[in-house]
Amino acid sequence: MSKKSFRQAINEALRQEMRRDPTVILMGEDVAGGRGGSAGTADAWGGVLGVTKGLYEEFGETRVLDTPITEASYIGAAAGAAVTGLRPVAELMFVDFVGCCLDQIMNQAAKFRYMFGGKARTPLVIRAMYGAGFNAAAQHSQALYPLFTHIPGLKVVIPSSPYEAKGLLISAIRDDDPVIFLENKVMYDVEEEVPDEPYAIPFGEANLTREGDDVTIVAFGRMVGMANEAADRLAKKGIGCTVIDPRTTSPLDGETILECVADTGRLVIVDESSPRCNMATDIAALVAEEAFDTLRAPIRRVVPPHTPVPFATVLETLYMPSVEKIEAAVTATMNHRVTEKV
């Protein structure tokens, strides 16, 4: 056990799985970097933010493949390699680039197993960065996990910490279905204790990061840390919050959410994706349908406005959910008074 960053935890998961299984390969734009450059180097970048640094050195060009900047061909190639015996981990860099290759994910990889009558295995992982907070503006800041969650046949993972990232990525690589693995780009330098040995965190099993009696908060990815901080502040005011990190949006651990809502009677959902048809609306529908009688207050959603992600810091800060916004939502749900119907 030692302190590792989110970046190091992901790198370690990749390295350990590549050592364990020779069919695991990496591909993507500049996952090594430097090929064909005048300096004559390889592994110049190790990924645009250095997440795959050093893997080229250990595994060489047959396992760590730089690609041209052509997402459709190499994401499709990863899908084709996955159904023919390899276990590719393809890096899409920014999840926003899915616009260039959605067909290969949505119509090809996601469909093979079902459409071919259960006879195809597609052990494919697509890693991509998501999220605002980097002043990266509208084309490099989206949190598109609802888009993937909407597509049957895909599994969708959003790790909330370095420990979670390592265990969930190992599960993703070992999974026989296509997995979209989304890394919040603001979190790469976040550190915590992470075991040195490989371990797998199962999909579809939510993690409770705080427990309290008054309000259930469901949060995803980077929002889990904000929800924890809000819960700690609220605890000092005598308000107890349970914080649920679902870890995966598909499969989604609906049972745990329903159980916690039954205990607390109040629900706040924190989701940094665009507010229409996102995870917050999805979970609100689930709870409204399955647990209506346990609710003591309306469900509240802490979500961005329905706008593209803005560039200027002042606007981006306004756009994002925050600890303060979560506190305000929890306080509002606590203050709700049920009026008896006559």
Q: Which residues are catalytic?
A: 140
Q: At what angle do helices 6-20 and 162-174 cross, to 10 degrees?
A: 30
**Which residues, 6 or more positions from 334, have their beta carbon under 8 angstroms from its beta carbon?**
214, 215, 239, 266, 297
Q: By CB under 8 A, name the binding residues for another protein.
A: 23, 25, 62, 65, 67-68, 70, 72-86, 88, 103-104, 107-108, 111-120, 152-153, 155, 177, 204, 250-252, 254, 286
Q: How many CB atoms lie within 10 A of CB 332?
A: 14
CB of 188 to another protein, least distance (A): 28
Residue 254 or 275: which CB sits closer to another protein?
254
Q: Is the distance from CB of 90 to CB of 125 less than 8 angstroms? A: yes
CB of 223 to another protein, least distance (A): 21
Of 116 and 311, nearer to another protein (C-beta) is 116
Q: How far apart are CA 24 and CA 29, in angstroms?
A: 17
75 or 224: CB nearest another protein: 75
Of 7 and 113, nearer to another protein (C-beta) is 113
Give least dist CB 185 to another protein, A: 26
Work out how close the CB of 105 gets to another protein at its nearest, in angstroms, rounded to a whole number: 11
How far is 11 from 181, CA to CA, in rounded Å? 14
Contacts of 190 (CB under 8 A, 6+ apart): 5, 6, 161, 162, 225
- Asked if omega into 198 is within 30° of 0 (cis), the reply is no
